[in-house]
Amino acid sequence: MDKIIYAILSVKEDPEKLMAQLNTMKGILEADLYIVSYEDISAVVSDINRSDLIADKTNALKFAELIENLAEQFTVIPVRFGSLVESSDRIKKMLERNYNKIQNNLLEIKNKVEFGLKVFCDPEKMKAEIKIKAEAEPLIESIKSKKKSIYTDYLLNKLKEHRFEEQLLAHVDCIILDITTHLKQLNPIQKFKKMVSATNIIDAVLLLEKDKKELCINVVNELQNKYPDLSFMLTGPWPPYNFVDINIK
Amino acid sequence: MHDNVVDRSKDITILELLDRVLNKGVILTGDIVISVADIDLVYVGVKLMLSSVETMEQLKSAKSIIEKNG
């Protein structure tokens, strides 16, 4: 029988509290939950047959719910869905081998929660606004003033496309800078991705102290008011999924 | 007021959640096995889920290779 790992946490302070909580919850396929520990670090696991672990919506949501419940009471490192290990002994050795790495990560995320911040735009509106600026450039104007030919048309189009992309990125960078300035008071650890899709211009994740939720909401409200043409979507608080990017061997 | 900002929309929240469960979190190198059923959890038209769709496709491919090679 394999073991599926849900999360890794430290129970130095209150091991009874963890056991009491695990007794009130069930794992995937309603299996009992238990811990495998090395010193003060524990992995929350349940038994499962390898062939029974199906990546469907029910199991994925169950997995997430369990991690969320644990994260409400403890600092947890979420483990990616589908992580199976063949024995408790191997889990113990894995915790022992990676003890320092896990401890450091637990320290980084202690008493913190993750928020997702996505910014959406109306791409046509944004393109139109930026295109007007791009077309007003001196170099483009000078090409336009030359004798029209197939070559100048080609050059003009390429230059316009290039300038448009440059300005779009510069515009997004300005918004990111403004967001980070607004968020500074929250002292977050943050990661930004730009231009995820035509509409999703910013995809950010923030790691904040648990008690800064309301402040974060206020900041995003301010940003939304400042940029009425953009849509700000804040989700959370989440367990710190995006801030535990360590590989455990 | 808060509802405008903290999006409680069920669909979006589920997409965000699945994206995290399937794509994020600690990776245990060497021991991961995953079975993939007929996936009903991804809505391909939603760009938010693209990374998860790609993951599922990779997992499906990996699974079929494993099955072929016994």
* pLDDT > 70 in chain A, percent: 96
- A and B: number of Cβ contacts within 8 A: 136
Nearest-angstrom CA–CA distance, A240 and A234: 15
What does the pLDDT read at residue A4?
92
Token representation of residue A12 = 């130095």
**Cα angle B42-B43-B48, degrees, rounded to a multiple of 5:** 90
Which residues make beta-bridge pairs with A33? A46
Instruction: Give mean pLDDT, residues B11-32.
Output: 76
Could you tell me the CA-to-CA distances from A119 to A116, A160, A176, B48 in Å, in that order?
A: 10, 25, 10, 12
Query: Sorting pLDDT into bands at 50, 70 and 90, what band is A8?
Result: very high
A80 and B4 within 8 Å at the Cβ level: the answer is: no
Predicted local confidence at residue B68, as pLDDT? 56
Written as one string, the DSSP assignment of B4-61 is HHB---HHHHHHHHHHHHHH-SBEETTT---B--S--S--TT-GGGHHHHHHHHHHHH
Gap between the Cα atoms of B27 and A209, Å rounded: 24
pLDDT tens digits, one per residue of A62-98: 999 999 999 989 999 999 888 888 889 999 999 999 9
Encoded tokens for A84: 């199976």
Strand partners for A37: A42
What's the pLDDT at B38?
A: 43
Nearest CB neighbour to B33, from listed A8, A67, A82: A82
Q: Which residues of A touch B62 (CB under 8 A)?
A: none
Is B69 or B47 the better-scoring residue by pLDDT?
B69
Range from A20-24, A68-72, A103-107, B51-55 carrying the lowest mean pLDDT:
B51-55
Q: Which residues in chain A are contacts of B6 at CB distance < 8 A?
A: 217, 234-236
Residue B62, pLDDT > 70, answer no
Residue B6: how many CB atoms within 10 A of its CB?
18
More confident residue, A37 or A141: A37
Contact B12/A at CB under 8 A: yes
Q: pLDDT at residue B42 above 90?
A: no
pTM: 0.76
Neighbour tally for A131: CB within 10 Å:
15
Tell whether omega for the bond before A15 is within 30 degrees of 0, i.e. cis: no
Read off the DSSP letter of residue A101: H
Q: What is the average pLDDT across B46-67?
A: 45
Q: Using CA atoms, how far apart are residues B67 and B70, in angstroms rounded to an integer?
A: 5
Side chain identity, residue A118: K
Within 13 Å of residue B53, how many CA atoms lie on the same side as its CB?
A: 11
How much is the CA Rg of chain A, to the nearest whole Å? 25
Please write the tens of the pLDDT for every residue from A90-128: 999 999 999 999 999 999 999 999 999 999 988 888 777
Shortest alpha-carbon distance between residue B44 and chain A (Å): 14
**pLDDT class of A146 with cuts at 50, 70, 90:** confident
Residue B54 scores a pLDDT above 60: no
What's the rounded Cα separation, in Å, for the pair B68 and A149? 58
Q: Which among A56, A86, A116 has CB closest to B37?
A: A56
**pLDDT tens-digit readout, A207-224:** 999 999 899 999 999 999
Residue of A235, A244, A247 to mutate when probing chain B, most B C-beta within 10 A:
A235
Band (B40; pLDDT cuts 50, 70, 90): very low
Query: What is residue B65's predicted lDDT score, i.e. its pLDDT?
Result: 53
Look at residue B61 and tell me whether its pLDDT is greater than 90. Answer: no
Average per-residue pLDDT for chain A: 87
Q: What mean pLDDT comes out for the span A22-43?
A: 94
Q: Work out the number of other CB atoms within 10 angstroms of the CB of residue A246.
A: 15
A83 to chain B: closest CA residue: B32
| Residue B49 pLDDT greater than 60, yes or no | no
| Mutant choice from A77, A80, A87, A191 vs B, greatest count of B C-beta within 10 A | A80
